[in-house]
Structure 1
Amino acid sequence: MNHDNVFLWEERIPGGCHWSGVLRRGVTLRLADVTGNANGAILFFNQEEKLERYNMADTLKAQHTFRLTKGHACFSDMGRIFCCITADTVGWHDTVCGLSDSKLIQQKYGIARYQEHRNQMYRSGMDGMLIELGKWGLGMRDIVANINLFSKVTANNVGELTFHRNHSKAGGYVDLSFEIDTLVILSAAPHPLDTNTTYQPGAVHLTAFTTPITIASECKQIAENLRGLHNTHRFYHPCGGAL
């Protein structure tokens, strides 16, 4: 991180654990893969009106993409932009595979409950998301298609999906620069297609800092993103008009 950026806070999320918090507009959140092969399942909600949330379909079709990386934006279901990806050393983030649930975790890895294993228990992405959503008055009906940061999944000509293990290396990171005051929900549980036969989810390190002015235009190369940013700026304008 550039030392000219104003550091705000940092936190490490152990593999399999979960986190939530509000990122204000004008703040960038850097998510880093600590040891490699992490998965950061993430969802976004408008902090002022939580019925507005991340929309996978609009995000992909507006930018004609299957993956997310630097220069892409994350759209809400109201045509606004939660955040822009302003830096990315990983290069590919999965958008379509969703979350692991407790049944899948049990089938792949067995059972390790808190009563016996304490913090080494096996957690699913779904359970972690539901715990964090509950802290903000949200629940199962608020779980929509999420982004899986650090994970790469490709599709062949007949639609079969392939998970690319070892895609994300230790120290890889992605920067999300927020345009809306956003409630962020994060789970570091394994990707549902992870081919590892042992439950070994990687830790995710979070660092928040003020968004540098020099990267404000990173996602403006796509026409739909310009319209999305215009809608976003109008949301904060006192008269609801153009800035």
Structure 2
Amino acid sequence: MALFNRVESTRKPADAVVDQTILAGDGWMYDLEPGQVLRIVDLEGNQAADTLFFDADHPEDHYSAVATIAGQGNIYLSTGSVLRSESGKPLATIVADTCGRHDTLGGSCSAQSNTVRYAHDKQHMHNCRDTFMLQLAERGQGYSKRDLAPNVNFFMNVPVTPEGGLQFADGVSSPGAYVELQAAGRTTVLISNCPQLNNPCNAYNPTPIRLLIWDS
């Protein structure tokens, strides 16, 4: 199930219409217009960018890990992967990727998962689910926790064991690695830049990401 389809982009940061840095633990929510391209940059390497996608006009039709995995026949994402919604509709396509593999199975950290995976005294720690909920609350428009589907973990390394279990392993990303996605239609992007301090996905050191957007 390995997938290392590294393709560099010709897009220049100076031409981007949006250029924003998101600190570890912070969130971001944005509506991409059809054809726009979003680049997510792992500035210092091994950072996990937990990301969800929604049809902006029909938010209930959100990203589906099952439809995406079935459509491409692979549990990992890289250049050429089409991210699909619950209805099977394409939301975005990865058009460039210098990391080579991204996780679709590990999900987002939460207060509850922190206690199960690590220890009960970790429950208070900042987590991606809380960041997602904060962004949805600020957006309004009827979004709720029902809209939090299993997400993509860009740059995160979650190998699957022969027995079918998941391992949260050292990252495979490097400083400056990026992934670019082109919106198929009006697509809402929701990101939690993971603050996780308890597993090696980010070398126990959460760091910022950079987001750039180009018009079609």
TM-score grouping bracket, smaller chain normalisation: 0.7 to 0.9
Q: Return the alpha-carbon distance in structure 2 between the equivalents of residues 109 and 169 of structure 1.
A: 32
Per-residue Cα deviation, 1:58-106 (whole angstroms, up to 9, x for no partner) = 1001110010000111001122111100000011100011111124447
**1:163–1:193 CA contact under 8 A, matched in 2:** no
Matches within 5 A, 1:102-141: 102-105=111-114, 107=118, 122-134=125-137, 135-136=139-140, 137-141=142-146
2:152 corresponds to 1:143: no
Residue in structure 1 matched with residue 110 of structure 2 by the alignment: 101
2:174 corresponds to 1:169: yes
Q: Return the alpha-carbon distance in structure 2 between the equivalents of residues 196 and 140 of structure 1.
A: 25
The CA deviation at 1:6 is 4.2
Whose Rg is larger? 1
The CA deviation at 1:204 is 1.1
**2:25–2:194 CA contact under 8 A, matched in 1:** yes
Q: Return the alpha-carbon distance in structure 2 between the equivalents of residues 96 and 127 of structure 1.
A: 19
Q: Give the aligned residue type for 1:33.
A: D
Do the aligned partners of residues 91 and 76 (structure 1) sit closer, same or farther apart at CA in structure 2, a change above 3 Å counting? same
> Alignment partner for residue 179 of structure 1, among 174, 184, 190?
184
Tell me the secondary structure at the aligned position of residue 52 of structure 1: strand
**1:33–1:205 CA contact under 8 A, matched in 2:** yes
Matched residues, number? 203
Is there any run of 5+ residues in structure 1 with no aligned partner, and where? 114-121, 212-243
> Alignment partner for residue 210 of structure 1, among 194, 210, 215?
215
Residue in structure 1 matched with residue 75 of structure 2 by the alignment: 66
Do the aligned partners of residues 156 and 37 (structure 1) sit closer, same or farther apart at CA in structure 2, a change above 3 Å counting? same
Matches within 5 A, 1:196-207: 200-207=205-212
Residue in structure 2 matched with residue 27 of structure 1 by the alignment: 36
Do the aligned partners of residues 4 and 148 (structure 1) sit closer, same or farther apart at CA in structure 2, a change above 3 Å counting? closer
Tell me the secondary structure at the aligned position of residue 159 of structure 2: strand
Residue in structure 1 matched with residue 97 of structure 2 by the alignment: 88
**2:171–2:200 CA contact under 8 A, matched in 1:** no
Residue in structure 2 matched with residue 153 of structure 1 by the alignment: 158
Q: Return the alpha-carbon distance in structure 2 between the equivalents of residues 168 and 198 of structure 1.
A: 11
Measured on the aligned residues, the alpha-carbon RMSD in Å equals 2.6
2:11 corresponds to 1:11: no
Do the aligned partners of residues 170 and 109 (structure 1) sit closer, same or farther apart at CA in structure 2, a change above 3 Å counting? farther
The CA deviation at 1:160 is 2.3
Residue in structure 1 matched with residue 50 of structure 2 by the alignment: 41
Q: Give the aligned residue type for 2:54.
A: F
Do the aligned partners of residues 196 and 48 (structure 1) sit closer, same or farther apart at CA in structure 2, a change above 3 Å counting? closer
Q: Give the aligned residue type for 2:76.
A: R
The CA deviation at 1:110 is 5.7
Do the aligned partners of residues 146 and 191 (structure 1) sit closer, same or farther apart at CA in structure 2, a change above 3 Å counting? farther
Q: Return the alpha-carbon distance in structure 1 between the equivalents of residues 101 and 205 of structure 2.
A: 21
Is there any run of 5+ residues in structure 2 with no aligned partner, and where? 1-9
